[in-house]
Amino acid sequence: MIDSHALTIEHTHDRHIEVPIRVRYTECDPMNVAHHSVYPVWFEIARTDLLRLRGNAYCALEKAGVMFVVARMSLRYHKPARYDDELTILCDAKPSAGVKVEHTYEVRRGEELLTTGETTLVCVDRDGKIQPIPADLFP
């Protein structure tokens, strides 16, 4: 386990992470429901924490000229998250090869499923040209 966001991150293997998030007031609409625009941010937090857990900080990858852009994102909202809810963002990385990596996500409040999502990231260089993912990054 590693400590981040002042809470404990759980992981069961190097392709899965569970990140705790508390819904902040600024993330909510006037009805105290988490705004739909914050879910991609939560997904990114989980995705970059998973990368860090595997021994790679995204900022170090950028310095080395390895960058990832979101090519596809889909979300399905099942139930709303509300102000001050304690959530868990589950993120799984699918095995990857070539130039892309895919992730799946679940947002849960306890055992209750609130949201599911998927992203496809494509590896690019500093000029935005597609390049292969380094072999040691996602073995």
Q: Which DSSP string do the residues of 78-108 spell out, in sequence order?
A: -S--BTT-EEEEEEEEPP-BTTEEEEEEEEE
Instruction: Tell me the domain boundaries of the chain.
Output: 2-124
Query: pLDDT tens digits, residue range 47-104?
Result: 999 999 988 889 999 999 999 999 999 999 999 999 999 999 999 998 777 999 999 9
In tens, the pLDDT along 3-50 reads: 334 334 454 458 899 999 999 999 999 999 999 999 999 999 999 999
Fold annotation for 2-124: Thiol Ester Dehydrase; Chain A (3.10.129)
Higher pLDDT, 133 or 1: 133
DSSP string, 108-121: EETTEEEEEEEEEE
pTM: 0.87
